[in-house]
Structure 1
Amino acid sequence: DEDDEGNDTNGLNAFTTYAMTVVCQLEARGMQLEISFDSNVVDPEQVGRMAQQLECVLRQVCTEENSSVALQDIETVSPQDLRDIWTWNATVPEAVDVCVHDLIAEQTAKQPDSPAICAWDGELTYQELDELSTRLAHQLVGLGVGPNVIVPLCFEKSMWTPVAMLAVMKAGGASVAMDSSQPEERLRSIVQQVEPIVVVSSAANEALAGRLAMAPVLVVDSQHLSRLEGNDKARTRLPRVKSSDILYIAFTSGSTGTPKGAIITHGNFSSAIHHQQAILGFNSRSRVFQFASYAFDAAWSNLLHSLTCGGCLCVPSDSDRRNNITASMEHMEVNYCDLTPSTARLIDPASVPRLETLILAGEAISVDDVQRWPSHVKVVNAYGPAECTPDSTFQIILGHSASPCIGRGVGVNTWVVNAQNHDRLVSVGITGELFLEGPIVGLGYLSNEERTGEVFTKDPPWLLRGGPDFPGRRGRLYKTGDLVQYNADGTLIFVGRKDTQVKIRGQRVELGDVEHHVRLGLCTNGDTRLVVAEHKWGGGSRGTKANDRGVRGEVGRGIAGIHDTERLHSDRQDADVGDRKDG
């Protein structure tokens, strides 16, 4: 090409060292732009969008009627971008008005003799699980449990944990599943927020449960449940539970040092099941390995998806979970697994030939995380904050490639918003904060209206306005705090965090939580300064590393991630205890 003066621009374009160059030339009646780019680096469709975005800005700043408009008020989203964004989020996914235990009851009616639980300490069919959980539910109602009454569960990995979880559902209660191996101080902090009328525990954790709360401890094992047979049905009636009632509360790291409880309703999770179960690959043949700690919502995902699709939940012992994952999976004939990438790296694919579906979540994935698995294994990259059920977006990985792409929302709309000004959307390809809208968005945080108001929002102006050919609407959304970009097809690229939250083996930890317990561990009355050195890791994740000698013991009494690190170091094991992206 030649410019108006006859200069050859092809040579410049051919030999430029930049991935993209923009040449602007003023003319009598406007401006001519020439964009040259390397298609190996920059997607041609994205270049076209950038040209439209630039045109959108120039038309605003170069017109007389906009001469007094402040730069911060210039709209950077082109009409085409806005139309596409609204096309991807045109309607809110359907909300499902049903309770989770009713979905499980449907499977029990279809296949009462099929295996529901295959655990290291015993097995249960759907009929047996239903009968045992119903007995326990009647007893819980007799103790005062009803709709939205919160019940802490204190169990090691066991066949009895699913029985207790289902019993609390049938009684109308809301479960708080706790990992008994976590620091006692952290567990006590959770129980104090809940103020329970009863704690349900395994026999092994009865003493611990008694120390955590001034409430009676109900021990669940085979002997206790056999004594209940036929006793309670005549004395109590199970309540009517609504889909708006609380299903469970997942406690996550809090920036003030106190864990915060994310509330998920039956309707939230039933909607997730309705929209996500097929894409996740759950079916009646699924034998799902429950690796996740009970403290994290991935354990709920494994349990509830398994039992509502007619599959079997495979529960290893805590020892096998930490030290013998592969042998445990093969012994239980597992064909479905949900792990962090770093945990999946510990498994030799040849040693688990039955595996058909692998969900990777909680950390960025690498190319090798995908390529090492044979082609018959379906690999899914999953993302989701605990505040919106365990999973929100999915990317089925094809062609043995990997990228920071977390796919598109399933059962939820995904909006990318200006991270500094939540009243404005950002253009396709521009980094912004991810907002989630839809029936899987939870109620908020337990007894924390201030924090709930900060991260759950209603009716942002861009939602009320709508877009080209799309009417506006009202809505409630969750601000994830995660930075993402839209791809040209509406899928999302994960970029990082906008705050000081970090991930430890897939488990989210607030640095403020660490600081709080470090200060307690220092036991100083003088001024202190805490310096956190951050290191950029691959895939947009952030990690921290410090010399923890001398403070690990004190800090570990209050923070689950650090405590677990100490335990795993002592076991000479690098297996993950975190479970997925928890937000």
Structure 2
Amino acid sequence: MPQQQAGQAHSVDIDEYNSTAVALPELPLHDLFTAQAARTPEAAALLCGEVELSYGQLDAASDAFARRLVAAGVRPGDRLGLLFDRSVEYVVAMLGVLKAGGAYVPLDARQPEERLSWMLRDTGAVLLLTDRRPGGTDFAGDLPVVRVGAEIAVVEGESVPLGLSVAAGQAAYVMYTSGSSGTPKGVVNTHRNVVELALDPWWASGRHRRVLAYSPLAFDSSTYELWVPLLSGGLAVILPAAKIDLGEIAEAIIRFEATAAYFTTALFDAMAHEAVDSLGRLEEIWTGGDVLSRTALEKVLAHCPGTTVVHAYGPTEATVFCSYQVFAPDTRTVERLHLGGPMANTAMYVLDERLRPTAPGAAGELYVAGSHLAAGYLGRAALTAERFTANP
């Protein structure tokens, strides 16, 4: 799919650059999580304030919630709205939806109620799952609302899976773009898309074993914050507050011994200037979403000699990240900032208006291809055909 304008400033062997093929499992997310839970049932999976859930507990709780959803009439392929504060209950509900064969639609309570109502209608959601009290979901209209609390995270006994067959190409979630240029677009990301992100060989370093999870749940970086640790036996350190300031993030990094985190470029810049010591506690930082400040980057590289910093690029349509530029501990100078290399099973090209590769130094449009690409825009076939261009 085409992205921002780009120029190939240096001669690159395109085939070598895009040689990213890696064999990854063709399984749904929840099956991979259950397999991980079987390997490390006692290991901590989620930490939120004083509440901690092990892999075994999370697997059992989400199995029980999936059975509850099926009993309520949820069927494979159904979409369910999720309106929660960050919490362990949200993750139980998210996994439960997937185990019931459905797809979740994360909603942001900070958005206008009219927009939330529109999203529920646009997705054809069959239920709204929420931790809000009655009166806090009037925007749902006649849509059935299931209110859940801490009880869904407490289950006695062994996991009892439903055993539903879910294909890797089935939708896992629908996440909406900002809509700043018109009607919000619901991006349909599949189980395969998220597996490609979460099991990318890059994370095998072990530096993402305790990931700080503070992004709004309707923001695509939350996909990284939850699924990368959960599919590898790591811990998602969830910050529960609706609004979190810079000082609270810095304190959480130290208090919970986080090893990795993602920051938007704006937040990275602020952290670099006001809380750089806390960044030095992290083993790896990912940052992206806008133009990265070279000054901020150089300050972090100088003050955090043992921290790997990764400059990432990727839209929601490419499942959070599709390329990355790495500044490892042995790389403390910045020669130039660029989009880096593609992630596993991903390819990137700079093409002209006739979809031909441009010459080095010539301007063109950046196209992204591969398994990170979403299934398209929900209910917008014409726009999907326009933006998700057939690969020549």
Structure-1-length-normalised TM-score = 0.60
Matches within 5 A, 1:122-141: 122-141=51-70
| 8 Å contact from structure 1 (residues 281, 357) kept in 2 | no
The question of 1:257 aligning with 2:182 is answered yes
How has the CA–CA distance of structure 1 residues 141 and 400 changed in structure 2, closer, same or farther, with 3 Å as cutoff? farther
Of 207, 210, 213, the residue aligned with 2:135 is 207
Question: 1:378: which partner in 2?
Answer: 308
How far apart, CA to CA, are the structure 1 residues paired with 2:369 and 2:96?
Answer: 31
| 8 Å contact from structure 2 (residues 347, 368) kept in 1 | yes
The question of 1:457 aligning with 2:386 is answered no
The question of 1:329 aligning with 2:253 is answered yes
How has the CA–CA distance of structure 1 residues 430 and 147 changed in structure 2, closer, same or farther, with 3 Å as cutoff? farther
Matches within 5 A, 1:91-490: 94=23, 96-120=25-49, 122-202=51-131, 204=132, 206-223=134-151, 237-254=162-179, 257-274=182-199, 276=200, 278-280=201-203, 283=206, 286-319=209-242, 321-322=244-245, 324-347=248-271, 348-373=275-300, 374-397=304-327, 398-401=331-334, 403-411=336-344, 412-418=346-352, 421-460=353-392
How far apart, CA to CA, are the structure 1 residues paired with 2:36 and 2:141?
Answer: 36
SS in 1 for 2:189: strand
| 8 Å contact from structure 1 (residues 416, 432) kept in 2 | yes
| 8 Å contact from structure 2 (residues 285, 308) kept in 1 | yes
How far apart, CA to CA, are the structure 1 residues paired with 2:119 and 2:205?
Answer: 32
| 8 Å contact from structure 1 (residues 252, 259) kept in 2 | yes
How far apart, CA to CA, are the structure 2 residues paired with 1:107 and 1:206?
Answer: 36
Question: 2:3: which partner in 1?
Answer: none
| 8 Å contact from structure 2 (residues 280, 306) kept in 1 | no
| 8 Å contact from structure 1 (residues 287, 311) kept in 2 | yes
Q: Deviations along 1:478-498, whole A, 9 cap, x unmatched?
A: xxxxxxxxxxxxxxxxxxxxx
How far apart, CA to CA, are the structure 2 residues paired with 1:210 and 1:239?
Answer: 33
Question: 2:5: which partner in 1?
Answer: none
> Which runs of 5 or more structure 2 residues have no equivalent in the other structure?
1-7
How has the CA–CA distance of structure 1 residues 452 and 315 changed in structure 2, closer, same or farther, with 3 Å as cutoff? same
Question: 1:520: which partner in 2?
Answer: none
How has the CA–CA distance of structure 1 residues 281 and 429 changed in structure 2, closer, same or farther, with 3 Å as cutoff? farther
SS in 2 for 1:153: strand
Q: Deviations along 1:240-270, whole A, 9 cap, x unmatched?
A: 1111111111100336632111111111221
AA aligned to 1:297 is D
> Which runs of 5 or more structure 1 residues have no equivalent in the other structure?
1-42, 50-80, 461-583
How far apart, CA to CA, are the structure 2 residues paired with 1:319 and 1:350?
Answer: 25
How has the CA–CA distance of structure 1 residues 283 and 169 changed in structure 2, closer, same or farther, with 3 Å as cutoff? farther
Please report the RMSD computed on the Cα atoms of aligned residues, expressed in angstroms.
2.7
Larger RCO (CA within 8 A; separation ≥ 6): 2
Structure-2-length-normalised TM-score = 0.87
SS in 2 for 1:454: helix
How far apart, CA to CA, are the structure 2 residues paired with 1:365 and 1:224?
Answer: 41
Structure 1 residue 367: Cα displacement? 2.5
* Larger Cα-atom Rg: 1
AA aligned to 1:300 is T
How has the CA–CA distance of structure 1 residues 402 and 303 changed in structure 2, closer, same or farther, with 3 Å as cutoff? farther
Q: How many residues get paired?
A: 374
How has the CA–CA distance of structure 1 residues 145 and 283 changed in structure 2, closer, same or farther, with 3 Å as cutoff? farther
